[in-house]
A and B are shown apart, each in its own frame.
Chain A
């Protein structure tokens, strides 16, 4: 049930099998179907969600009813509304399943216990927060100043396999493009026989 999460946490810390068993009491697991929600706008986000298998996304819906995708989380990714989680305020985000998904739910007690047990984990958790901020900063910068092609190339570098698992409109929504512009970007890359390395 927690095997993939245990592998993940042991890859990033010195937490032993025995220690993991003692703190795993704070974890919950959940299996959801494609389209089911783990968080709705207005709710308080009480957990971080680790994806063992499947694919989650976070997004907002604007006044015209259009979806804007903030993040995708395939296997071994964590997705959370950090502002709702940390400040205990109603979330602006929806998080739902793009595919049938098995996930592990981490609450603050788990994080605290893991940090107490392992300073390596504490450092990893701290670094993960800053990696997330770095990622968001880059994303804001790309959305404000980059061309559609630059955004797309950044996307396939970050999520090389997701292009096969997502419908075009979701990729376009994440990139802040229309599906037609996304199609033009790919056409142009193929025409130039673009090599990314």
Chain B
């Protein structure tokens, strides 16, 4: 097996607000070199780096909006988020939890800071990822997986190096809690200072790291600081992460979906006509109702 070589390390782009509750750095597809095609099946990644929201009586967030053609995955590191959708699902995720919503044929949803968290204020840190669906599944039935931290399998590294939490895919003998439509590995490496973990994913999988906390050395070669995003080349399989201090790293690796992408706002389909259809369907109430 060959070492997976590093393509580029991206510093976080200037943040912008999504609604009034999410202050995000958009890495995918906004950064040059991280297009939807290059990063497939990961077609969007917004990172709310650790940010303090002061107390408020009116929860901050994003009001009702539709999605069609993909899945939204929210990974909470700090703070709490409440979710409601037109398929009737709702839930609250907090530190260590993951919400995996398959929008597929279409849902309306809204996301807000959880009420008590809003009242108290506090540090907020999350990743929202959009995972594309293959054409055959884009119009399947919406579903919702709430994955609490208790349900996420953890692999303990040797020498008290830390743990790997397997959200989806697999690490050694541990398999992910989330079901996916195509191979998607999503894992949190929570490493102690000096802890080291090895990973292996096929060369053609699009693979990247986001340093949530601390700083790391990858392949004994490059140092990556907090909030930076590392993209691997599509060459080689194996890489290592060594924590230079207590660190948390989101590891993403997925098999690219080699189909045309037509994207507009909250819709990601295969053709322009399907996007126009999505607008029409939303306007005619076919995504259901949500206040």
**Residues on A close to B: CB < 8 A?**
156, 160-161, 163-164, 167-168, 183, 186-190, 194, 196
Chain A residues closer than 8 Å to B286, beta-carbon distance: 190
Contact in complex: B279, A189 (CB < 8 Å): no
Contact in complex: B280, A190 (CB < 8 Å): no
Contact in complex: A160, B283 (CB < 8 Å): yes
A183 CB to closest chain B CB (Å) equals 6
Residue of A at shortest CB range from B264?
Answer: A161
Residue from the list B66, B284, B288, B291 in contact with A164, Cβ < 8 A: B66
| Cα-based distance from A188 to B64 in the complex (angstroms) | 20
Contact in complex: A163, B282 (CB < 8 Å): yes
Chain B residues closer than 8 Å to A188, beta-carbon distance: 285
Chain B residues closer than 8 Å to A163, beta-carbon distance: 279, 282-283
Contact in complex: A183, B283 (CB < 8 Å): no
Can you list 21 residue pairs at the A/B interface with Cβ under 8 Å?
A156-B284, A160-B280, A161-B279, A163-B282, A164-B65, A164-B265, A167-B63, A168-B64, A186-B283, A186-B284, A186-B285, A186-B289, A187-B285, A188-B285, A189-B284, A189-B285, A190-B284, A190-B285, A190-B286, A190-B288, A196-B284
Contact in complex: B284, A194 (CB < 8 Å): yes
Is B55 at the interface (CB under 8 A from chain A)?
A: no
Is B266 at the interface (CB under 8 A from chain A)?
A: yes
A171 CB to closest chain B CB (Å) equals 10
Chain A residues closer than 8 Å to B266, beta-carbon distance: 164
A interface secondary structure, majority: helix
Chain A residues closer than 8 Å to B289, beta-carbon distance: 183, 186-187
A27 CB to closest chain B CB (Å) equals 28
Chain A residues closer than 8 Å to B265, beta-carbon distance: 164
B285 CB to closest chain A CB (Å) equals 3
A46 CB to closest chain B CB (Å) equals 32
| Cα-based distance from A39 to B264 in the complex (angstroms) | 32
Per-residue 0/1 for B6-37: is the Cβ within 8 Å of any A Cβ (1 yes, 0 no)?
A: 00000000000000000000000000000000
> Size band of the B side of the interface?
10 to 19
Most buried by B among A161, A164, A167, A188: A164
Q: Given A186-B289, A187-B289, are A160 and B279 neighbors across the interface (CB < 8 Å)?
A: yes
| Cα-based distance from A48 to B269 in the complex (angstroms) | 38
Residue of A at shortest CB range from B66?
Answer: A164
Contact in complex: B285, A156 (CB < 8 Å): no
| Cα-based distance from A187 to B279 in the complex (angstroms) | 16
- Name B258-291 residues within 8 Å CB distance of A: 265-266, 279-280, 282-286, 288-289, 291
Chain B residues closer than 8 Å to A161, beta-carbon distance: 279
Residue of A at shortest CB range from B283?
Answer: A156
Q: Given A164-B265, A187-B285, A190-B286, are A196 and B63 neighbors across the interface (CB < 8 Å)?
A: no
B5 CB to closest chain A CB (Å) equals 40
Chain B residues closer than 8 Å to A183, beta-carbon distance: 289, 291
Per-residue 0/1 for B123-148: is the Cβ within 8 Å of any A Cβ (1 yes, 0 no)?
A: 00000000000000000000000000
A163 CB to closest chain B CB (Å) equals 5
A167 CB to closest chain B CB (Å) equals 7
Question: What are the 8 closest A-B residue pairs judged by CB atoms, nearest first?
Answer: A186-B285, A190-B285, A156-B283, A189-B284, A189-B285, A163-B283, A190-B286, A160-B279
B156 CB to closest chain A CB (Å) equals 46
| Cα-based distance from A103 to B283 in the complex (angstroms) | 28
Residue of B at shortest CB range from A180?
Answer: B291
Residue of B at shortest CB range from A160?
Answer: B279
Per-residue 0/1 for B168-184: is the Cβ within 8 Å of any A Cβ (1 yes, 0 no)?
A: 00000000000000000
Residue of B at shortest CB range from A162?
Answer: B283
| Cα-based distance from A176 to B253 in the complex (angstroms) | 50
Chain A residues closer than 8 Å to B283, beta-carbon distance: 156, 160, 163, 186
